[in-house]
Structure 1
Amino acid sequence: MPAPAHLVDRDPQVTPQQMAASLVPPPQFTDASFASYRPDPEYPSQAQVRDAVSSFVAAGPADTPRRGLFGRRKPAAETTVKSGVYLDGGFGVGKTHLLAAAYHAASGRKTFGTFIEYTALVGALGFQGTVDLLRGTALVCIDEFELDDPGDTMVMTRLIKELTETGTRFAATSNTPPGALGEGRFAAQDFLREIQAMSDRFETMRIDGLDYRRRAVDESARVVSDVQGSLPNGTVTLDDFRAVVEHLASVHPSKYVAMVEDLDAVGLTDVQAFTDQTDALRWVALVDRLYDAQVRIVASGTPLDQVYPESMLHGGYRKKYLRAASRVVALTRA
């Protein structure tokens, strides 16, 4: 068996055109549909939201908001039309599945991407270039909507405002676990003023339930003593965990999708808990891309769901860390 390659050697170059072309559901949701969604009977909101999102998509795009003399929009169009649905809930309740199902069921031009992929597109094309690219899209799906960075949040509010005024509709998801700031609301108080207009455009749907990745048994991320010997056949990488974390600092998060492309597994030796929050957040972004691509993780050292100290778990990024912890449990036990 040849020696594994190294993740730290990967620094892909991604063009704006490639970024735009990648705005489709991840491979694991290629066949996602409303029929294949399996709601937990213990939580009726899951089936209710499934049916509501299905009805939203089936209704088709609303008429482009009417404008009066001198281009001013008539008030009735703004107050009576909800141009989006926002799925609010904890981890592992099927929000991304429903978002992908909406994408597949929608007619016309459509896009699907994470919040960070859309903001990266704005960074590459500029705000107006992104508006021009997405104008005419019938449905824009935004997974993992983030409210941590006020700059990115305001960019997305402007983008949504510009596109809804030309008839584009939106579907979005976000995680709000118990204890997280903004629980049960569209946004945390700090950003409420900035995104109030966007909130008014969406119908918020709450999904309750347990994390399906941990529904059967409360497990931790798996660790092994011999990482290289435990790697599966296929295209794999082997690196020291800290080296990977350092490498992430030199690669823009918009490239993480390409960085893990075509990998079957990544091997990580000597996993250690984080001491720097910036490093932890970059790792979370990589975990999201590994999960989307269903890349197995084989690791030694500290279990990967236990790398966030209590000080981080009680901070403003709690929801991101808990999402990543849930996902690495699944990836190390794949």
Structure 2
Amino acid sequence: MKAVRRISTTSRITPTRWVHPQSSIIRASISSKASSSKSQNQIDNKANNSTLATLKPTPPEVPFFQELKPPQTQHQQSPKQSILRDVTPLRQYEKLIDTGVLRGDDHQTRIIQKLQNLHTQLLDYEPQPIPDEAQSNSLLSRLFSRESPVPTSSPENTPKGLYLYGDVGTGKTMLMDLFYKTLPPSLKRKRRVHFHAFMIDVHKRVHAAKIAMGFNGGDPILPVARDLAREAYVLCFDEFQVTDIADAMILRRLLENLLKYGVVVVLTSNRHPDDLYKNGIQRSSFLPTIDLLNTKFEVADLDSGTDYRRIPRALSKVYYDPLTPENEQEINKLFDSFASANPSDPPIPNRKIMTWGRALIVPESTSKVAKFDFADLCDQPLSASDYLEVTKNFETIFIKNIPKMGLDKKDMARRFITFIDACYESKTKLFVTSEVPVFKVFSDDPNESLPQHHYMSDHMRSVMDDLGLSKDDVGTSSMFTGEEEVFAFARACSRLVQMGSKEWADTAGHS
């Protein structure tokens, strides 16, 4: 629906992960999605645009994920024959190479072939029906119904799931998107979702199940797994990561029951199953989940030995700093250029968009392009739901006058991070003017006499390393101290770097 872009003055581009730790900022974003089915669908099914291979600029006439049309032949093909011939992960990957979007290699082809094999198996896979035990909509009646016995093992014809892991920049999200987008239209019961968003949903369902069970108690995981299996028998989780003890405690039983109901699961992660939840509280209780992943899934390493983050890329001029009259003039010219693309859709002042019954004023916008001052978005009490609504409405967003943010602007910084998350997840194209390079707006002043450990804690070093960032790349900020805040800060920096790349500039904005 929307598109995001980012630019960096460095030659090192770091695609970030979608995996959200238990950040209050990200929880707010996910919670808003649970409230709005439209926003939920947008976040569940949007691409994270991580790089599978070195990307070249996309030719304007070739959309990034253009569906192939069936060839004209004298013989009519059945729908399934057409799907098998044209819209498959392997053929779409080959098309991206042929059109110059990707540069392939043998390792990538090997991974694509695994996805192709699973895709082919799913064409003929019919999961066993899961009876709806209750005719009423009462969760209570469904929980206590005895009509549907619990399966003891996965159906024999269930394809084995995939667990794809690799470092930042190895193309996990792009692989997931390529696989999901090529699933046949006839496969209606499917879901692609960020893993953190999925677990938020699961916890809400478990809570509702416990309430319905009342004092008699019972296992709330089984009915939750049963309902999830009814809704989708192909589940694609992006950025599988376990950082929370509550998640760790229910994942084994949840995955076990999903597999028993014939659900096929595809996961991406930045860690091998053996490395999940390292040093976590009561990790011994999580070990059965690791065994389950290693035995019930095909585990594939996406690391081809090439760190795509370190391949120099052409940068697109989308971030302008410092705040000078010249940069102000350039950003206004860009906005005028985008806004004049459709004469029948001229920019209008003070457009109102409604979110949660409130009107949010957009200072200047067409139906697809909007321009804000930083204060319009981040210096007033807006929430993740507001930012999701903005990115849902506009494919391209201009923000002017982003300041350098220190401890005196912590609330503004948190809102800006939430806004960046919404832009990234919606693939919104972004243009900004800022006081300093935009991915350094959270940095402390290095001339201030704060102790060195205050700038870079051990946890901060670990997070920055996971995201492929260095202190020299983005700086650090002493205003983010808790684990959740540190991760949100580092992820936002990494996303801003990626959104300024030429690849993002060429592909963002295509729904």
What TM-score, normalized by structure 2, do the two folds share?
A: 0.49
Matched, 1:35 2:113: no
Q: Structure 1 residue 84: deviation in Å?
A: 1.9
Q: Secondary structure at the match of 1:205?
A: strand
Cross-structure match for 1:48: 110
Q: Could you tell me which of 136, 152, 157 is aligned with 1:73?
A: 152
**Alignment partner, residue 196 of structure 1:** 290
CA distance in 2, matches of 1:148, 1:278: 25
Q: 1:273 to 1:218 in 2, by over 3 A?
A: farther
Distance in 1, Cα, partners of 2:439 & 2:297: 33
1:222 deviation in Å? Answer: 4.0
Quote the Cα distance in structure 2 between the aligned partners of 1:46 and 1:202. Answer: 19
- Residue number in structure 2 paired with 1:261: 392
Secondary structure (helix, strand or coil) at the match of 2:164 reads strand
CA contact (8 A) 1:20 1:121 kept: no
The percentage of counterpart residues that share the same residue type is: 19
* CA deviation vs aligned residue, 1:133-159 (integer Å, no higher than 9, x gap): 552512111112222223234455444
Aligned match of 1:7 = none
Q: What corresponds to 1:6 in structure 2? A: none
- Shift in Å at residue 85 of structure 1? 1.1
Residue 113 of structure 1: aligned partner:
193
One-letter amino acid of the counterpart of residue 115, structure 1? F
Separation (CA, whole Å) in 1 of partners of 2:231 and 2:309: 37
Q: Is the 8 A contact 1:144 1:174 kept in 2?
A: yes
Counterpart for residue 5 of structure 1: none
Query: Which amino acid is 2:35 matched to?
Result: T
User: CA shift at 1:51, angstroms?
Assistant: 1.1
Instruction: Report the residue type matching 1:327 in the other structure.
Output: R
Task: Look up the SS of the partner of 1:145 in the other structure.
Answer: coil
Mapped to 2, the partners of 1:147 and 1:294 lie a distance apart of: 25
Give the structure 2 partner of residue 122 of structure 1: 202
Gaps of 5+ in 2: 1-28, 50-63, 68-88, 130-148, 210-222, 340-368, 444-454, 468-486, 506-511
- Indicate how the Cα distance of structure 1 residues 292 and 301 shifts in structure 2: closer, same or farther if over 3 A, else same: same
Task: Note closer, same or farther for the CA distance 1:97–1:198 as it changes in structure 2 (3 Å cut).
Answer: same
**Contact persistence 2:235–2:265 (CA under 8 A):** yes
Question: Cα 1:256–1:187, aligned 2, differ >3 Å: closer, same or farther?
Answer: farther
The 5 Å alignment of 1:1-334 reads 15=35, 17-18=37-38, 21-22=41-42, 23-26=44-47, 31=66, 33-37=89-93, 38=97, 41=104, 44-60=106-122, 61=125, 71=150, 73=152, 77=154, 83-107=160-184, 108=187, 109-126=189-206, 131=225, 132-176=227-271, 185=274, 187-191=276-280, 193=284, 194=286, 195-200=289-294, 201-209=296-304, 210=306, 212=308, 215-217=311-313, 222-226=319-323, 229=329, 230=331, 232=335, 233=339, 234-240=369-375, 244=378, 251=384, 257-263=388-394, 264-267=396-399, 269-272=402-405, 286-295=419-428, 296-306=430-440, 307=442, 310-311=456-457, 313-316=460-463, 318-319=465-466, 324-333=492-501, 334=505
- Using a 3 Å threshold, how does the CA distance of structure 1 residues 273 and 172 change in structure 2: closer, same or farther? farther
Q: Distance in 1 between matches of 2:159 and 2:307?
A: 29
Q: Which amino acid aligns with 2:499?
A: L
- Give, in whole Å, the separation in 1 of the partners of 2:380 and 2:199: 23
Shift of 1:172: 1.5
What CA distance in whole angstroms lies between the structure 2 residues aligned with 1:27 and 1:196? 26
**Bigger CA drift: 116-125 or 100-109?**
116-125
CA contact (8 A) 2:47 2:173 kept: no
After superposition, the C-alpha distances for 1:180-234 in whole angstroms (9 at most, x for unaligned) are xxx6845142355413254233222111255657633497994423476526342
| CA displacement at 1:71 relative to structure 2 | 4.9
Q: C-alpha distance in 2, partners of 1:184/1:152?
A: 15
The offset of 1:99, in angstroms, is 0.6
Deviation at 1:265, TM superposition (A): 1.5
Partner of 2:212: none
Counterparts of 2:495 and 2:240 in 1: how far apart (Å)?
A: 17
- 1: distance between equivalents of 2:178 and 2:319? 31
Equivalent position SS for 1:261 = helix
Report the secondary structure of 1:171's partner residue.
strand
- SS in structure 1 of the partner of residue 170 of structure 2: coil
Deviation at 1:13, TM superposition (A): 8.0
- Change in CA separation of 1:225 and 1:95 when aligned onto 2, cut-off 3 Å: same
CA contact (8 A) 2:48 2:173 kept: no
Indicate if the aligned counterparts of 2:319 and 2:437 stay in contact, CA closer than 8 A.
yes
Q: Are 1:86 and 1:172, in contact at CA under 8 Å, matched by a contact in 2?
A: yes
Q: Deviations over 1:45-72 (max 9, x none)?
A: 322111112212222248669xxxx856
Residue correspondences, number: 308
Q: Which runs of 5+ in 1 are unaligned?
A: 1-9, 177-182
* 1:169, distance to aligned residue in structure 2 (A): 0.8
For residues 154 and 79 of structure 1, do their structure 2 counterparts lie closer, same or farther at Cα, with a shift above 3 Å needed?
A: farther
